[in-house]
Amino acid sequence: PVNCQLEQGVPKHQEVFLGMALEQASLLLSRQLKELNKSSVDGFSAGLIDDDDLFKWEIVIYGPPETLFEGGMFKSHLIFPKEYPHRPPKMKFVSEMWHPNIDQEGNVCISILHEPGDDKYGYEKAAERWMPVHTVETICISVISMLADPNDDLRPM
């Protein structure tokens, strides 16, 4: 009989699938980086933390006009899972931030970065959560919008 198990206990067909997913993620991230470097986008800049790792990006968000953040430059990291674009990246501000959607460690809490599917707490619609069509640009635009208009659930309607 043929043994299709790897020494670590992962079936070979899964290893092939994971390799293909990793290659897809790398190609997609490489393409997005080239696009962002080719044509700048207002409100942020993006690049790799380490040129040898496409899965770890440094993002600098420029404080949106007419907000408390105006004139500021806020450094953050965007860390992509190997399953990107099927799973969302994590975003964390390295610069100190005070914002209702950013925790004390700098982690960004925004619907677009939440795992796809229904929200078990019922706060978000599935359409507001992560979808594979999102890009670094759509993430950054959403974060800039969040800085300008926080979702604090404390404001009067």
Cα 152 from Cα 150, distance rounded (Å): 6
From the candidates 22, 109, 141, 148, give the one annotated as an active-site residue.
Answer: 109
Is 4 noted as a catalytic residue in this protein?
A: no
Distance CA(21)–CA(102), nearest Å, equals 30
Q: Which residues are catalytic?
A: 109
